[in-house]
Amino acid sequence: MPDCTSLTLDRHLAPAGASAESFARLWAGLWTQRRIPPDLLELCRLTFARLHDDAGEMAAANPAVALAAGQRDAVLAGQAPADPAYAAALLFAEYYWLDAQSITDEAADAVKAHYGEPGLVLLIEALGLIDGRIRTARCLRDLSAHTSAKEAAHV
Amino acid sequence: MSDTPRVGTPGTQTGNTIRDSALGLVPETVSEIIALNGHVWNDTIVPPALLEIIRLRNARTVNCVFCKSVRYDVARADGLTEERADMIAPGYQDSALSEREKSAIALADCYLGFPAGIAPDLAPRIAAAFTREEIAAVLVALMTFNFTSRTAVSIGGMPEEPLPIIELSVSVTTD
């Protein structure tokens, strides 16, 4: 499954049954909610892709989101966006990715100033879902690659 | 880590610990999160004791003080004693945990690692220990445990010191 990324993960998890279906619904809901702009969440996904140094994830494009010209390349290059709300959320995301315990009150307050307390909670949930899906996709890709190679070696 | 919560709660007393927490501030997601937790525990092909082992491994890695203090009733009923829970620690490879339980911890560590991923020598062991369906179920459970524990840490207000072990019914976090 070399094509497996956070964006295509659900079909690979489907064998888990009801829990996978519920997880897929939660994920899909991120791209239709209105508390945090979905394009900002996509920039968070690309930020995590960069931090994971995950080429497949960085190359993937979310069909649910249309990014403005240059946004994608800027985030993949590690440049902070000019929009202060977006910059606050992406800085918070970097703290989150590094270690949730490293998040500063100032970083959280900056997100709340733009999106309120419910917006901060939604952003935190979304970051966990995005990072978890990237991690899971990496594990499934490795599992497939390494077990396929072993099986081939036995043939 | 912030010693005071960064957000409030909805002020509800529904008896569901997730809905009454800060997650209740976001009605768009909280019901599905509760449903997801229910599916992970109640509709899975993976035994509760094994789920609890990976939940506790995640809790220790994320250092979620709340998560570390909880023991779910269904896992205890499935045989995860406190003595066995203590084995989910450095050196677990040499513990009395079963090979399948050790493989589950190894998979959890692959997910939780920096970088995340499965090493070539470990992949065959994991593939031999679990079916395709079980691996999918374990990974969905891991993602669920991981994002909820990191959410708790991110929201803040968590004590620094360990809390007493408490047994919790899965029913207070599910529908």
Tell me, what's the pLDDT at A150? 55
CB pair distance less than 8 Å for B2 and A103: yes
A-interface mutation test, from B154, B158, B160, most A Cβ less than 10 A away: B154
Q: What residues are paired with B71 via a beta bridge?
A: B167
Residue B1 lies in a domain: no
Tokens of A11: 């079909």
d(CA A6, CA A126): 12
Cβ contact B43–A140 (<8 Å): no
Question: Which residues of B fall within a CB distance of 8 Å from A31?
Answer: none
Domain span holding position B41: 22-169
pLDDT at A148 over 80: no
How does pLDDT run across A53-92, given as a tens digit for each residue? 999 999 999 999 999 889 999 999 999 999 999 999 999 9
- Percent above pLDDT 70 for chain A: 95
Averaged pLDDT score across all residues of chain A: 94
Q: Examine the pLDDT at A153 and tell me if it is beyond 70.
A: no
Contact B102/B96 with Cβ under 8 angstroms?
no
Domain membership of residue B7 (yes or no) is: no
**Cross-chain residue pair B115–A12, CB shorter than 8 Å:** no
Confidence of residue B2 (pLDDT cuts 50, 70, 90): confident
Backbone φ and ψ of A26, nearest 5°: -60, -40
How much is the pLDDT for A142?
A: 97
B27-50, pLDDT tens digit by residue? 999 999 999 999 999 998 999 999
pLDDT of residue B44: 85
Query: Which residue in this structure is represented by tokens 């099986």?
Result: A151
For domain A9-154, which architecture applies?
Answer: Up-down Bundle (1.20)
Instruction: Give the SS3 label for residue A21.
Output: helix
Mean pLDDT of A25-46: 97
Q: Find the residue in A nearest to B135 (Cα).
A: A16
Q: Determine the pLDDT at residue B25.
A: 98
pLDDT of residue A50: 98
pLDDT band at B87 (very low <50, low <70, confident <90, very high): very high
**Structural domain contains residue B12:** no
Per-residue pLDDT at B56: 98
Alpha-carbon gap, residue B113 to A54, rounded angstroms: 14
pLDDT of A141 above 60: yes
Q: Which residue of A has its CA nearest to B33?
A: A26
- Mutation site for A-interface testing, chosen from B20, B42, B143, B158 by largest number of A Cβ within 10 Å: B143
- Report pLDDT digits (tens) over B68-84: 999 999 999 999 999 99
In a domain, B13, yes or no: no
B168 has a pLDDT exceeding 60: yes
Nearest to A17 among B29, B43, B111 (CB): B43
Burial (CB count within 10 angstroms: exposed 0-12, middle 13-18, buried 19+), residue A19: buried
Local confidence band at B117 (pLDDT 50, 70, 90 cut-offs): very high
- At A155 the pLDDT is 42
Number of domains composing chain B: 1
Beta pairing partners, B166: B70
Residues B108-146: b if buried by 16+ CB within 10 A, e if exposed? bbbbbeeebbbeeebbbbbbebbeebbbbbbbbbbbbbb
Chain centroid to Cα B3, Å, comes to 22
Which has the higher per-residue pLDDT, A150 or A96?
Answer: A96
Chain A positions touching B117 (Cβ under 8 A) are 138-139, 141-142
CB of B120 within 8 Å of a chain A CB? The answer is yes
B118 contacts A146? CB cut-off 8 A: yes
**CB of A142 within 8 A of CB of B118?**
yes
| Structural domain contains residue B10 | no
CATH, residue B32: 1.20.1290.10
The yes-or-no verdict on residue A119 having pLDDT over 70 is yes
Question: Which pair of tokens denotes residue A23?
Answer: 């997880």
Cβ proximity of B149 and B59 under 8 Å: yes
* For residue A149, pLDDT beyond 70: no
